[in-house]
A and B are shown apart, each in its own frame.
Chain A
Amino acid sequence: MKEKDHLQPDHSCETCQPLRPVNSALFGGPVLGRRDFFTIAGTGVAGYFVSPLFSKNVYAKTANPEGAAAQLNGRARNVIFVHMQGAPSHVDTFDLKVGSWTPADFAPETINGVLFPKGLMPTLANHVGKMAIIRSLRAPALVHSLQQIWTQIARNPTSLMGKIAPHIGAVVAREFEPQRTANQKLPGFVSLNGGTVVQSGYMNARYTPFAAAGSTAGLGNLLHFGQTTSTTFDRRYQMLQDLDAENRVNSPLGEPVVDMDSFYQQGRAMMYNPEVDSIFRLTTAETQRYGVGNAQTGFGNSCLTARNLLKANLGTRFVQISIGGWDNHTGIYQANGGIYPSARQFDKGLGELLTDLAATPGVNGGTLLDETLVVWMGEFGRTVRTGAGTPGLNGNAGRDHFFQQFVGFAGGGVSGGRAIGQTTSDGFAVADSGWKYGRPIANEDVAATIYSALGIDYTKTYQDDPYQRGFDLVPFAAQGAWYPVTEVFQRSASPTRPKIEPRGR
């Protein structure tokens, strides 16, 4: 058999046949019928095949026949990735489903055609016109740690490449490293507000997220033991040069040691630097504006720091901000408990951030928001039905882990004020995928969208991974397994929207 014949989806050969999915809902894509769901609910996870083979088979039918040429938008130069860890309830936030359970203070309102909990997130309600919200996103697994990693590396963490994969932000930092100018002193990838953050995987540590925290006191290690003048430090640094000069001079062979010296030089350049200091030294007034009830919050401070980082244009191109507290198994609507504290912090921090980005000039003539893709998502969504299978909460007035989820985009070339994709009336399954490929959207597609927005060829393969297998920026995107959701960049909705029939209901 000729090699190309193996490409035909329906051919039959001994090599391929045993590997084919056979009428399996688990392989048929992330859409699960209820019966399928309960079959696997006991394990808390969805079956997912690590081999991209299946992605290819399954999605070959919906794939763009032109194949997998990269579809690059390229209007963004920065990314702020807000990771809502703990998995926010989609039906209470960005895929709102109103029912008898909905608290009155959610004050649902249709804004730009998007039903939005204006009472829960009043600041963000002013920005719906900037948002493209994907509602046809399905998570492949329901284990927090696994899925938090999955969203950050765009592949199964238990797969071979998943075990060594870098964070999307580390890849972005690497891609943009050649654009760095001499005065750009800050790391390409910065992570704020803790949380689970994947590092640089197999790649060099220079792409590892620089974990920092802005505050009214500034960033700790940028001052030598807190001393506000550099006199002592300068003396010591000079002594270090004197005593260590022979260890640190340039050498044609000296990559690791020269690297270390360059890290010292970069670190030194960040210290006692008013420009860098002003990024991490926040004013009380601004921390209050980004905070809740006039009190600063860790998330608000991080949003403020992210704004400062990108505004300063000192080399940082990807910022991850984590915000936890969304794992609302019990009492999700409890007054001042449940979803409220996280939602309020999130609303205020992200809302003020969008306001400021839109009012700050960027480097390319537009606003900073025009050139910054803002993304927010959890690792999965939450259940939408009661134990008896009717819409509502679980027995503890909360919501458990569920596959259906959302991802929000703004800025960076995104055409806002709309939702892409629809779920069924209770938010249980995808009713309309909302994009030209007609299947539910996956984490890998979200990654391709981020790369596309930045103009990074997401079909590229790095040849330097330790397995020598080739590290795909997005696994098998070059073969058409995954695509950017270019619909988020388009003024009008996708021309074709194949309906997906939810199964097993």
Chain B
Amino acid sequence: MTGEKNKSTISVLAKRLAFLGFALAGLMVALDHFGAFDVMGQRAPRRAARQTEITGPTASDCDYLQAPENFRGLQARHRREVSQLTESLASRLTQDDVLLVPPQQMPRKNIIDDLIFNKMAAVGIQSAPVCTDEEFIRRAYLDLTGRIPSAEDVVTFLKDQNPIKRDILLDKLVYSQEFNDKWALFFGDLYRNTSQASNINRMITGREAFHKYILDSLAENKSYAQMATEIITARGDSYDSGPVNFIVGGNVAMGPVQDTYDGLAVQTATIFLGLSSMDCLLCHDGAGHLDAVNLWGAKITRADAWGMSAFFARTRRTQSTVAGTNMTRYTVTEATTGEYDLNTNSGNRQNRNPIGNLRSIAPKYFLTGGGVSNTEDRRTALARYITSDPQFARATVNYLWEELMVEAFVSPSNTFDLARLKANAQMPEGWAPQPSNPELLEALAQEFIGSGYNLRHVIKMIALSNTYQLSSKYPGSWKLEYVPYYARKYARRLDAEEIHDAIVKATNMPPVTTYTPAGGVSTTMIGFPILNEANQKLGEIQWAMQLSDTVEPRFNGTSAAFLNSFLRGNRDSNLRLADSSILQALNLMNNGFIQTRMSYANGIINPIPNYNTERILSTVRRLVDTPGMTNAEIVAQLYLCTLSRNPTPREMAKALTYFTPTGTQTVAQAKQAAIEDLQWVLLNKVDFTFNY
């Protein structure tokens, strides 16, 4: 390391992985040995020591110089994890007679397939085959709605002879209410919507307002540019206006107001532009910090970044207490005066000192240099700059691609390097384009813009492609280097809410909650109630996928504890993780949440007085009590309900042996035991907890 420029560095690339709603961090922990990744078509950025502003690393104190092999690109790590997970799961799935397909022969459904399979063909990588209908329906239901299909859905779909039945199914799914639920959870994670964070409490009512806003925006298929504009320019009362809660969440405690302006700029740039390096740049210039990881960021100065914060310098938040309660609500307004002053010497970021005679910073959109006139509303101007910037579209489609395809083009998905976006970008020696497929990222971004920022359009387009519909099985020699080519579908572990709801749906046993609202009597219901801090009821929901926050359901401890054990995080200090744990295994094997859903005795929910329900029977109870079903039909039903597929012949043969009475068992007793046991086994089977 020579010269001042190179001396500091590793800086922040990944930012707020928790936003992603999918556990990047959890996938990046096994780091002992990584091979060289330069062969992957994208050179891992050069690594350097961690930030040491004053000392500067020497060979003796620089971790990078001592052991450069310990440092590898995040993207490379993620690719390795994705590759391993998929390979290991797929090798454990029952192998049918599937063969690799030359990419030239793969049918092209849209531009995604053109750009993916052409690239595969160009480098000579064989493609996995297109997945089976059973695999497709479970995958599409989980990815688009967060829930598994019902047995009837699967059977109907398998019987359907229509050659475009997959397209028809996708149309049905993207216009379902379940689609809105799932993507509201996704955006709730991205926007970190929670009632209580370490920096500020939105309170339950504010959080609900924000959730409802997201849900309604999705339901009416609002243009995402419109949504971003409403969020960035939000003003009004936090209980009445959902997007106001985005601004409220930008609060930064323990510092001067500039820290909050910076916090708002970081959250806005990260979420809407994929530029988490904003957080670095608001403490120091990129030069000397980001040189080794982000070519674009290295050219940005702290003053440039302040220009973004200055758009928020007139944003005001006042707080009031709801009379007679401990609840707080906020009003966000835009003042007519106020500047981003360079006058701080305390707080969360380095001192802000005047630059020459310049004592405050004017708003300046750092990607185009655009400012505001004296009369223009600052946040309106910022929203205009952001939503008309192609980077807004790129960042958004990159998030969507990651959610559906597991591996983002730019990964971690909020670490864009704007100087390395294009395939033909001019870059110094040793650098390569950042996105795994720059042409496709750009094409999808243009498609998103052309569609009027239509989220559904892009989501459906991805799901429609044969690229998305490839099998996760790769009947050939899989190489890590294939990951950026998407030559197979990558598997992922289900999110907490998905596992909860998959168990509920497979067993047909919804959660039952008993609670007491303020001034009311003990009430029992199917699903979960949402109550504010004063225990006044705000609404009720049926599925975990509909939860507005990871602190819910507050009145159903069984479901909440079960969800927490699957590491859904808190949208604040704890990330959502896709890791497994002993607690998860113990819960899946022994928790009362499972017991009530697999035992015959518990398999009935009687109509609840004053609550409009019919009697509900569990899958197990229904199968035990339905006369005339053969054992093979029962086994098939259990597989269809739980795993959304038929049993393989081997599985069927094995399962049927459990119906044979042993000892003093009667035939009926053996049958009931076999059904209960099989239900338990299928919920604990490894493919149940994965989307593959």
Binding site for B on A (CB under 8 A): 3-4, 6-7, 15-16, 18-22, 24, 26-27, 43, 45-51, 53, 56-57, 141, 143, 145-146, 149, 156-160, 163-164, 187, 198-199, 201-206, 208, 210-211, 220-225, 233, 235-237, 239-240, 242-244, 246-249, 251, 253-261, 263-264, 266-268, 270-271, 461, 463-464, 466-470, 478-479
Minimum Cβ distance to chain A for residue B668 (Å): 18
Option from A149, A201, A466 in Cβ contact (under 8 Å) with B14: A466
A158 proximity list for chain B (CB < 8 A): 198-199, 252-254, 348
Q: How far is the CA of A203 from the CA of B567 in the complex (A)?
A: 13
B349 proximity list for chain A (CB < 8 A): 49-51
Query: Contacts A49-B347, A49-B348, A143-B253 hold; do A3 and B198 have CB atoms under 8 A apart?
Result: no
25 contacts between A and B (CB under 8 A): A16-B54, A19-B53, A50-B349, A56-B54, A146-B198, A164-B17, A201-B574, A202-B28, A204-B29, A206-B581, A221-B590, A225-B590, A237-B589, A239-B677, A254-B91, A255-B85, A256-B493, A263-B581, A267-B586, A271-B586, A466-B17, A466-B25, A467-B10, A468-B47, A469-B11
CB of A257 within 8 A of CB of B680, answer no
Q: How far is the CA of A321 from the CA of B290 in the complex (A)?
A: 41
CB of A163 within 8 A of CB of B16, answer yes
Closest 6 CB pairs of A and B: A254-B88, A205-B579, A47-B346, A3-B56, A267-B585, A470-B50
CB of A270 within 8 A of CB of B680, answer no
A19 proximity list for chain B (CB < 8 A): 53, 350-351
CB of A236 within 8 A of CB of B283, answer no
CB of B590 within 8 A of CB of A253, answer no
B575 is an interface residue with CB less than 8 A from chain A: yes
Query: Contacts A239-B678, A263-B585, A267-B582 hold; do A470 and B88 have CB atoms under 8 A apart?
Result: no
B595 is an interface residue with CB less than 8 A from chain A: yes
B681 proximity list for chain A (CB < 8 A): 236, 239-240, 243-244
Binding site for A on B (CB under 8 A): 7, 10-18, 24-26, 28-31, 47, 49-56, 58, 61, 63, 67, 70-71, 74, 81, 84-85, 87-89, 91-94, 196, 198-199, 252-255, 279, 283, 293, 345-351, 353, 412, 493, 567, 573-575, 577, 579-587, 589-592, 595, 599, 651, 654-655, 658, 677-678, 680-681, 684-687, 689
CB of B88 within 8 A of CB of A258, answer yes
Q: Which residue of B lies closest to A240 (CB)?
A: B681
Option from A24, A46, A56, A221 in Cβ contact (under 8 Å) with B586: A221
CB of B198 within 8 A of CB of A157, answer yes
CB of A47 within 8 A of CB of B63, answer no
Option from A24, A187, A249 in Cβ contact (under 8 Å) with B582: A187
Query: Contacts A158-B348, A199-B574, A236-B677 hold; do A466 and B74 have CB atoms under 8 A apart?
Result: yes
Minimum Cβ distance to chain B for residue A289 (Å): 29
Q: Which residue of B lies closest to A44 (CB)?
A: B253
Q: How far is the CA of A239 from the CA of B89 in the complex (A)?
A: 20
Q: How far is the CA of A257 from the CA of B688 in the complex (A)?
A: 12
Q: Which residue of A lies closest to B284 (CB)?
A: A19
CB of B599 within 8 A of CB of A225, answer yes
CB of A210 within 8 A of CB of B583, answer yes
CB of A157 within 8 A of CB of B573, answer yes
Q: Which residue of B lies closest to A205 (CB)?
A: B579
Q: Which residue of B lies closest to A208 (CB)?
A: B581
CB of B25 within 8 A of CB of A202, answer yes
B56 proximity list for chain A (CB < 8 A): 3, 6
Q: How far is the CA of A251 from the CA of B84 in the complex (A)?
A: 10
B52 proximity list for chain A (CB < 8 A): 479
CB of B346 within 8 A of CB of A253, answer no
CB of A205 within 8 A of CB of B91, answer no
Q: How far is the CA of A206 from the CA of B58 in the complex (A)?
A: 35
Minimum Cβ distance to chain A for residue B253 (Å): 6
Q: Which residue of B lies closest to A267 (CB)?
A: B585
A225 proximity list for chain B (CB < 8 A): 590, 592, 595, 599
Q: How far is the CA of A57 from the CA of B84 in the complex (A)?
A: 45
With A221-B591, A243-B681, A243-B685 given, name 11 new contacts (CB 8 A). Answer: A4-B55, A21-B345, A157-B573, A187-B582, A202-B25, A203-B29, A208-B567, A220-B591, A224-B589, A244-B685, A267-B585
CB of B580 within 8 A of CB of A467, answer no
CB of B71 within 8 A of CB of A463, answer yes
A48 proximity list for chain B (CB < 8 A): 254, 348
B677 proximity list for chain A (CB < 8 A): 235-236, 239
Query: Contacts A145-B196, A468-B74 hold; do A248 and B92 have CB atoms under 8 A apart?
Result: yes
A6 proximity list for chain B (CB < 8 A): 53-56
A18 proximity list for chain B (CB < 8 A): 350-351, 353
Option from A143, A221, A240, A253 in Cβ contact (under 8 Å) with B684: A240
B196 proximity list for chain A (CB < 8 A): 145
B13 proximity list for chain A (CB < 8 A): 467-468
Option from B198, B582, B655, B684 in Cβ contact (under 8 Å) with A145: B198
B91 proximity list for chain A (CB < 8 A): 251, 253-254
A464 proximity list for chain B (CB < 8 A): 28-29, 31
A201 proximity list for chain B (CB < 8 A): 574-575
Query: Contacts A243-B685, A463-B31 hold; do A469 and B26 have CB atoms under 8 A apart?
Result: no
A45, A222, A240, A271, most chain B CB atoms within 10 A = A240
CB of A7 within 8 A of CB of B92, answer no
Q: How far is the CA of A452 from the CA of B396 in the complex (A)?
A: 46
Minimum Cβ distance to chain A for residue B348 (Å): 5
Q: How far is the CA of A472 from the CA of B53 in the complex (A)?
A: 16
Q: How far is the CA of A371 from the CA of B76 in the complex (A)?
A: 42
Minimum Cβ distance to chain A for residue B510 (Å): 20
A22, A49, A220, A468, most chain B CB atoms within 10 A = A468
B70 proximity list for chain A (CB < 8 A): 463
B11 proximity list for chain A (CB < 8 A): 467, 469
Minimum Cβ distance to chain A for residue B31 (Å): 4
B70, B255, B595, B678, most chain A CB atoms within 10 A = B255
Q: How far is the CA of A248 from the CA of B52 in the complex (A)?
A: 45
CB of B580 within 8 A of CB of A259, answer yes
B54 proximity list for chain A (CB < 8 A): 6-7, 16, 53, 56-57
Q: Which residue of B lies closest to A469 (CB)?
A: B50
Option from A156, A164, A267 in Cβ contact (under 8 Å) with B589: A267
Minimum Cβ distance to chain A for residue B678 (Å): 7
CB of B55 within 8 A of CB of A3, answer yes
Minimum Cβ distance to chain B for residue A466 (Å): 5
Minimum Cβ distance to chain B for residue A245 (Å): 9
CB of B254 within 8 A of CB of A253, answer no
Minimum Cβ distance to chain B for residue A461 (Å): 6
Query: Contacts A246-B94, A248-B92 hold; do A22 and B345 have CB atoms under 8 A apart?
Result: yes
B71 proximity list for chain A (CB < 8 A): 463, 468
CB of B49 within 8 A of CB of A3, answer no
Option from B85, B252, B253, B279 in Cβ contact (under 8 Å) with A257: B85
CB of A255 within 8 A of CB of B88, answer yes
Q: How far is the CA of A235 from the CA of B88 in the complex (A)?
A: 27
A248 proximity list for chain B (CB < 8 A): 92, 686
Q: How far is the CA of A325 from the CA of B144 in the complex (A)?
A: 45
CB of B587 within 8 A of CB of A239, answer no
Query: Contacts A50-B348, A164-B25, A239-B681 hold; do A467 and B12 have CB atoms under 8 A apart?
Result: yes
Q: How far is the CA of A261 from the CA of B584 in the complex (A)?
A: 11
Q: How far is the CA of A258 from the CA of B28 in the complex (A)?
A: 16
Q: How far is the CA of A468 from the CA of B16 in the complex (A)?
A: 14
Q: How far is the CA of A188 from the CA of B17 in the complex (A)?
A: 26
Query: Contacts A45-B254, A222-B586, A247-B687 hold; do A256 and B580 have CB atoms under 8 A apart?
Result: yes
Q: How far is the CA of A4 from the CA of B584 in the complex (A)?
A: 51
Option from B92, B350, B579 in Cβ contact (under 8 Å) with A254: B92
Q: How far is the CA of A134 from the CA of B357 in the complex (A)?
A: 48
Q: How far is the CA of A24 from the CA of B279 in the complex (A)?
A: 24
Minimum Cβ distance to chain B for residue A163 (Å): 7
Q: How far is the CA of A136 from the CA of B235 in the complex (A)?
A: 45
Q: Which residue of A lies closest to B658 (CB)?
A: A239
CB of A160 within 8 A of CB of B12, answer yes
Q: How far is the CA of A149 from the CA of B52 in the complex (A)?
A: 25
CB of A24 within 8 A of CB of B24, answer no
